[in-house]
Structure 1
Amino acid sequence: MSRLACCLVFVSLILQSFARNANVTLIPAAIGFEADNTAFYYSSSPLLLANDGSAAEGGFRVFDAKRVSQWDEVAHLKTGRSKVAVPVYDIGGRDIVITIAATDSVMRAFEAIGLVEIQNTKKYILSDWSTLCGWRSAISGNSYLFLFGKKMVVQLLVRSQKRQVQILEVQTFPIPIEGESCAVLRDGTVFFSAEDQPLYSFTASESLQAPKIKILTQDIPTFGLAAYHAGSEDFLLVVDSESLHVYDRNLGQKGSVLLTGIPDLSVEGGLSILQSASKGYPSGAFAFAFEGEEDTGVAIGSLQAILAVSHIGPNTKFDPNDKTCRKCTQPISKKCSNNGFRQHGACYCFVGFSGRDCSKVTCQNSCSRHGSCIAPNTCKCAPGRSGPDCSFVAVKAKFETDANGGDGDDPAIWIHPTRPDQSRIVTTTKSDEGAGFAVFDLKGKLLQHMPGEEPNNVDVIYNFTMGAQGTDLTFAACRGDNTLCLLKINSTGLLESVHGGIQPTPEDYEVYGSCTYRSPKSGRQYLFVNNKDAEYLQYELSSTADGTLQTNLVRKFTGGSGGQVEGCVSDEEQGYLFLGEEPEGLWRYDAEPDGSSTGVQIAKVGDGTLYADVEGVTLVPAKNSSDGYLFVSSQGRSAYLVYERAPPHGYVMTFTIVDNEKAGIDHVSNTDGIAAVGNRLNNAFPKGLFVTHDDANELAEGGTAEQASFKLVSLEDILGKQRTAMLGY
């Protein structure tokens, strides 16, 4: 090896060592709330935007980005719990901020200067959205948004029409994952990923042809993505659990820095970049959402060290408001009524428009004949109908539970053996705040809180023999200590501790969902538990002579296609186990421990009715036949699907829970766990009860409740008198 080559290797090793040892001290600049995404707004007085996914007010927060340490809050826009807020520049000569609320799936626009909501721009886009990225075409100068949700992306055009801001849906296309972070280079390359997922990309274009999704690598852990624009070259910045990295567009690593300064740092995502100099940040700054030992909010760091180790010259003159094209070519044509792309002599219309010149306004499925089309792909539904195309049956909750705990998850219904009107609802809270079980009456009044180790799903076991006595139990998988948790239900429906009520699972097994099954063949009681890798464990539950519970592992299998699973329910008469695979659909398995571990998929995400994430699963059997109904919650649509209990489990209907303004009870959004029974309980629930978790509980005075609630709905209001009569209770 030549002396020059040796020197080059030596210098390279020094630079690599410097890169490994460089660090950036973070400052918790905006704290006291839980964020998922951040974005900088460039101006002479730059701003930092961050969603508020936790506080009672929800919405998004705006901070003065000129400060060196903790930044002053300029505004708090209380639009309901949200995950995104991003700037869009020069829409008819003004800059705007776009956000979408989880509570109502309504996209709203605000003036970036003054932060006043722009009227008549609201757009309803139903789903559970994770992140949002903007792109300005270098060919036309048009501004687009890419809205990421449950395995899909919606491409939106943002423009000014007759001095009004207009948001139009261009197209929706599938992606392999739920994108939780995204970044866009100036050439239209869109990168996206999520925690524990590969890095993907596609090329943005002004076309109705869905882009080709490319999988780039599985070797880059990604908690947040951002683009750095250095002169004529763009770079990808990636934050993981402890470091910030820079890659060129071909994913060649340029440099890394270690993130320090915040004890017990947990990066929550939403990486963003400010490429302008300010006091304390001569090379610019970066921000992301974080959770630490003492604070939650947004962390700020200087770009100086990461640019230095990556050998990238600072570009503090970058202006996203610069014109992207000098001689723009406009594919949105007047010949297409400005509602579509003109290509190869023909018009290709945006969603909600049709005809040779895209002049006709249309709606999905013609609003299912249950409403009228009042705007592009916007239906006004008839009473009793809801959903984007009015195909959902709209029902109202009769009661909701008192607020309890920071992150409620799943309910179960205990039926009193002699006084049905004294039946109880048992729910779980899986967060640190309020972790444990809660018991409510049939009007939602909180009767008891029982601490627990972050229980997730919960089920009721009736008349289980403990010693020589029949006892009702609750069962849940407790995520706090990865155990199986069991409690006694006494004669009043309240919970009590029981000997052997905490049962272990294998070492390194992290519990997630759970359900129960009593064999009609043997009379033995079984407990099912799963982890996020779809590994199911089946335990036999038994009792010693003195009444101490014990468990024995009798079966293992992988559920579904191996994707994340949670909700499950058994059909104890038919010997089936039904489980929900969040990204894929609904599966049926043999529930007996010696049964087949090969499942049958009975409903698939993307089949036109079922959407991700598949969450809660519950069963209402008919009293004296194999009839009955299987209910599944679709978190991405805030809706519920009903299937026939008997094979082949035909689809019956979709319903959603809307506002009950008279009772002061809001609609359900981002639903999780569900439970239902077909028994008569009282006059409010004469043919049965359906209970569902509501993730974003809206308050009458505005904003979003910090604590979870559960909605109580009459089963007859959902299924109708004819179907509930067939249940035979």
Structure 2
Amino acid sequence: MRVTQLPALLAVGQAFLGTAISYDLPVAARIDGFESDSTAVIYNKTHPVLIGNDGGAASGGFHAFAINNSGSLTETKHETPGRTKLVTTAHGVGGRDLIITIAQPDSFFRLYDANTIEQIGEPLARTLGDWSALCVWRSESSGEQYLYLFGKKQAVQFLLRPSHGSIEIVEIQTFETPVEASSCAISSSTRTVFFSGDDNPNIYIFNATESTQPPDVTVFGAAEADVTGLSVYVGKKSDYLFVAQTDIITFYDELFNNLGSVTLTGDDDIEIEGLNVYQSETKLYPAGAITYAIESDSGAGFGLSSLEEIFGNFKLEVNTAYNPRKAPCNPKPSVCSDCSSNGFCETSVSSDSPTCSCFAGFTGDTCGSYECRNNCSGRGVCVGANQCDCNEGWGGLYCAFKVVKPLAETDANGGDGDDPAIWISPINKTMSRIITTTKSEAGAGLGVFDLTGKKIQTITAAEPNNVDVIYNFPAGDKFIDLVYAGCRKDNTLCLFEIHQNGTLAPISGGTQPTKENYKVYGSCVYRSRATGKQYLFVNAKTAEYLQFELSWNNASQALETTLVRNFTGGSGGQVEGCVSDEANGWVIIGEEPRALWRYGAEPEDDASEGFLIAEVGDGHMYADVEGVTLVEGPTADAGFILVSQQGVSAYNIYRRAAPHEYIETFTTVDNIEKGVDAVTNTDGITAVESGTSDEASFKLISLGDVLSNDLLAELSSDWDPRS
């Protein structure tokens, strides 16, 4: 993958930014109550429909809304395959219009008939990964339709085609991208794929091609601010690129000339993403409408605005005759029977016979044979193109992961669970507690469960993300246990006292500030064995770590904190999970898109360079690197580091002792006998870890099922966190 700049085009675009006209654009229709990222539209002369994802509730899925002439959005259907981030539509595939989604719990594509909104067949083409953008492209040459799916600095191209009365999705190729795309859009007339990443003003492009050769990625230009959404309006002569930047939508031509912008009005603190365009005429919207996911002071959900004001004010050419179902009159097939319909037929002047360029997983001169990546890791049989039938006890990506069944789960609690911790009772270990976080607005706070998973207590907190336990903290003339979390809603450090019966209670000084303009994300704790001082780590998505000393003020009888260190973790990519190793004086952090790192945890330790424990792409580690935990042994060298990998719903195990040898990867499967489902889209993890309900639950897994007897023998069942 090669990334190049286009300085001439970029200079032209920037030259227009200061002079382009801007107008206000009101929200014409809106519906709230949904945590959303993306929108799509179904073209229908009489009943156009807006489709939006539901990434909030665990049941999630997507919602369908009628675009009414009354100026409102009316929900007509809600499908619930699980929390869903991505949704798009394709028109005229085998005579059908389709809604295409990927549910996060199982990573399967699902197809729905856009007219009835009923699922077509079974879920298909499982794509393990943490995916962030999805676009459809119809070739104006062949009429074939393709999907581009974006994830962690990679994209996958699929062919979407009729097959035996149904629809199939066939993987073409996977290639690298310079950023994790958060939005994408495609111009069919120029065969251009546009995409952008979070917290990034750059817009990247590559050519949409019917080829298995990875495309060259170029920087098309830079918007004035970070891009939050992209959409293409198909014009009569040329297409327009719509670029959202928080509450502003800017319009560009095919040379990235800035044609003007609008600012969304109707509420305070508006943020939009997931742009899409409905460019057909309706009674209320004669020039069509632009749709988006919206969040503001009024809430979060979906909205739309009239295109008439945009096109009228900026004198752009309206094209309501656009037909997304239009196929080429004389299609030139790109996929042919000479290549077993499993590859592209490429002709050359030197030969009358076509040369086959096989799709991913197919091989041979005519693409008539199949193969599997890594030969199913030697633990299974290849039964189709990159499809493995794994031996018992193995699963995940090409049979590379050990499979484990969870033994129990906590009661469901809250809409967006993230991270667990385990508090060990000083009275009786059977009275120990599992403490979990709910980081979304609905039910935000901490949950307390016994070791069977029964809910004991919930306590409100300001959207805590990660949670950790502090033992034997000196508070005046007594020692207490505390629970600590970084709270995202008000960007504070949240602390509660843990009573001996395992319940939580507010404590004086339990809400501590961070610093101005700092946005809290992840957190963990560390107690120095050299000085006995207690420290709190907190991080931001920007990889900025703050380290605070926690102390007790005898005069005010309250907790207080002092900032003692500030550093950048990893290589500057988004961070969240971390854990301390007090015996060795380390803090171990996960950089989500890249690696697992180790730093000295004392305030005076040099944090200019960390020790790289493992890196995404090293053959064992996959993005996103999320929760990190430590399994203690009897000595500072004994024990294991466990890290969760959200993109593949799996966990890696490394030795605690440097250089941190990789041990194995495990994933979970349904425990049908006990009625406990698998862990999917894994996030936080503790020494025992965290389908589809409206609330999240955390799974309990036996270390005896994860580690071999020889590895278990290296641990200590007598480990006491208070010693």
TM-score normalised over the length of structure 1? 0.90
Q: Which amino acid aligns with 1:250?
A: L
Check if 1:328 corresponds to 2:331.
yes
Q: 1:706 aligns with which of 690, 694, 700?
A: 694
* Native 8 Å contact 1:255 1:306 kept in 2: no
* Native 8 Å contact 1:66 1:278 kept in 2: no
* Native 8 Å contact 2:56 2:415 kept in 1: no
Q: 1:627 aligns with which of 630, 638, 643?
A: 638
2-side partners of 1:152 and 1:506: how far apart?
35
**Partner residue in 2 for 1:337:** 340
Check if 1:725 corresponds to 2:696.
no
**Partner residue in 1 for 2:238:** 233
Counting only pairs closer than 5 Å after superposition, residues 76-115 of structure 1 correspond to structure 2 as 76-115=78-117
- The alpha carbon displacement at 1:499 in A equals 3.1
Q: Cα deviations across residues 76-116 of structure 1 (Å, max 9, x unaligned)?
A: 22322212232223323333222211111111222233333
Q: 2:593 aligns with which of 537, 562, 583?
A: 583
Counting only pairs closer than 5 Å after superposition, residues 655-674 of structure 1 correspond to structure 2 as 655-674=666-685
2-side partners of 1:461 and 1:642: how far apart?
24
What is the DSSP-based 3-state SS (H/G/I as helix, E as strand, rest coil) of the residue aligned with 1:540?
strand
**Partner residue in 2 for 1:680:** none
* Native 8 Å contact 1:423 1:441 kept in 2: yes
What is the DSSP-based 3-state SS (H/G/I as helix, E as strand, rest coil) of the residue aligned with 2:507?
coil
Tell me: CA distance 1:498–1:298, structure 2 relative to 1, closer, same or farther (3 Å): closer
**Partner residue in 2 for 1:593:** 603
Q: Which amino acid aligns with 2:700?
A: L
Q: Cα deviations across residues 583-608 of structure 1 (Å, max 9, x unaligned)?
A: 11111111122222121222112223
Q: 1:253 aligns with which of 258, 267, 275?
A: 258
Tell me: CA distance 1:726–1:17, structure 2 relative to 1, closer, same or farther (3 Å): closer
**Partner residue in 2 for 1:145:** 147
2-side partners of 1:216 and 1:57: how far apart?
38
- The alpha carbon displacement at 1:240 in A equals 2.5
2-side partners of 1:73 and 1:487: how far apart?
41
- The alpha carbon displacement at 1:545 in A equals 4.3
* Native 8 Å contact 2:464 2:487 kept in 1: yes
Q: Which amino acid aligns with 1:656?
A: T
Q: Which runs of 5+ in 1 are unaligned?
A: 1-14, 677-689, 693-697, 699-703
**Partner residue in 2 for 1:570:** 580
- The alpha carbon displacement at 1:160 in A equals 2.0
Tell me: CA distance 1:33–1:537, structure 2 relative to 1, closer, same or farther (3 Å): closer
* Native 8 Å contact 2:404 2:706 kept in 1: yes
Q: Cα deviations across residues 343-380 of structure 1 (Å, max 9, x unaligned)?
A: 35532211121222211122222222333333322223
Q: Which amino acid aligns with 1:70?
A: S
Counting only pairs closer than 5 Å after superposition, residues 496-575 of structure 1 correspond to structure 2 as 496-545=505-554, 548-575=558-585
Q: 1:273 aligns with which of 260, 271, 277?
A: 277
* Native 8 Å contact 1:28 1:262 kept in 2: no
Counting only pairs closer than 5 Å after superposition, residues 23-34 of structure 1 correspond to structure 2 as 23-34=24-35
* Native 8 Å contact 2:542 2:573 kept in 1: yes
What is the DSSP-based 3-state SS (H/G/I as helix, E as strand, rest coil) of the residue aligned with 1:570?
strand
* Native 8 Å contact 1:563 1:582 kept in 2: yes
Q: Which amino acid aligns with 2:338?
A: K
**Partner residue in 1 for 2:312:** 308
- The alpha carbon displacement at 1:262 in A equals 4.1
**Partner residue in 1 for 2:51:** 49
Check if 1:616 corresponds to 2:614.
no
- The alpha carbon displacement at 1:288 in A equals 0.8
Check if 1:455 corresponds to 2:464.
yes
2-side partners of 1:562 and 1:299: how far apart?
34
Tell me: CA distance 1:464–1:74, structure 2 relative to 1, closer, same or farther (3 Å): closer
* Native 8 Å contact 1:37 1:51 kept in 2: yes
**Partner residue in 2 for 1:10:** none
1-side partners of 2:295 and 2:550: how far apart?
39
**Partner residue in 1 for 2:61:** 59
**Partner residue in 2 for 1:691:** 689
Tell me: CA distance 1:430–1:63, structure 2 relative to 1, closer, same or farther (3 Å): closer
Q: Cα deviations across residues 540-594 of structure 1 (Å, max 9, x unaligned)?
A: 2223446533322222211111121111111111111110111111111111222
2-side partners of 1:87 and 1:18: how far apart?
32
2-side partners of 1:691 and 1:83: how far apart?
24
**Partner residue in 2 for 1:189:** 192
Counting only pairs closer than 5 Å after superposition, residues 106-255 of structure 1 correspond to structure 2 as 106-119=108-121, 122-186=124-188, 187-197=190-200, 198-220=202-224, 221-255=226-260
Percent identical residues: 47
2-side partners of 1:117 and 1:493: how far apart?
46
Tell me: CA distance 1:43–1:504, structure 2 relative to 1, closer, same or farther (3 Å): closer
**Partner residue in 2 for 1:679:** none
Q: 1:716 aligns with which of 701, 704, 708?
A: 704
Q: Which amino acid aligns with 2:712?
A: T
* Native 8 Å contact 1:378 1:388 kept in 2: no
1-side partners of 2:491 and 2:305: how far apart?
36
What is the DSSP-based 3-state SS (H/G/I as helix, E as strand, rest coil) of the residue aligned with 1:124?
coil
* Native 8 Å contact 1:624 1:728 kept in 2: no
- The alpha carbon displacement at 1:57 in A equals 4.0
2-side partners of 1:112 and 1:38: how far apart?
14
* Native 8 Å contact 2:185 2:195 kept in 1: yes
**Partner residue in 2 for 1:394:** 403
2-side partners of 1:535 and 1:631: how far apart?
23
2-side partners of 1:528 and 1:190: how far apart?
41
1-side partners of 2:517 and 2:395: how far apart?
44
- The alpha carbon displacement at 1:49 in A equals 1.8
Tell me: CA distance 1:561–1:346, structure 2 relative to 1, closer, same or farther (3 Å): same
What is the DSSP-based 3-state SS (H/G/I as helix, E as strand, rest coil) of the residue aligned with 1:389?
helix
Q: 1:289 aligns with which of 286, 293, 298?
A: 293
1-side partners of 2:479 and 2:297: how far apart?
46
Larger displacement relative to structure 2 (498-507 or 533-542): 498-507
Q: Which amino acid aligns with 1:707?
A: E
TM-score normalised over the length of structure 2? 0.91
RMSD: 2.2
- The alpha carbon displacement at 1:66 in A equals 5.1
What is the DSSP-based 3-state SS (H/G/I as helix, E as strand, rest coil) of the residue aligned with 2:451?
coil
1-side partners of 2:527 and 2:33: how far apart?
47
1-side partners of 2:20 and 2:209: how far apart?
40
Tell me: CA distance 1:639–1:78, structure 2 relative to 1, closer, same or farther (3 Å): same
- The alpha carbon displacement at 1:286 in A equals 1.1
- The alpha carbon displacement at 1:650 in A equals 1.6
* Native 8 Å contact 1:244 1:306 kept in 2: no
Larger displacement relative to structure 2 (628-637 or 43-52): 43-52
2-side partners of 1:110 and 1:240: how far apart?
31
What is the DSSP-based 3-state SS (H/G/I as helix, E as strand, rest coil) of the residue aligned with 1:691?
coil
**Partner residue in 2 for 1:354:** 363
2-side partners of 1:455 and 1:436: how far apart?
6
What is the DSSP-based 3-state SS (H/G/I as helix, E as strand, rest coil) of the residue aligned with 2:689?
strand
* Native 8 Å contact 2:579 2:587 kept in 1: yes
Larger displacement relative to structure 2 (492-501 or 422-431): 492-501
What is the DSSP-based 3-state SS (H/G/I as helix, E as strand, rest coil) of the residue aligned with 1:674?
coil
1-side partners of 2:87 and 2:259: how far apart?
30
What is the DSSP-based 3-state SS (H/G/I as helix, E as strand, rest coil) of the residue aligned with 2:457?
strand
Larger displacement relative to structure 2 (399-408 or 626-635): 399-408
1-side partners of 2:355 and 2:307: how far apart?
47
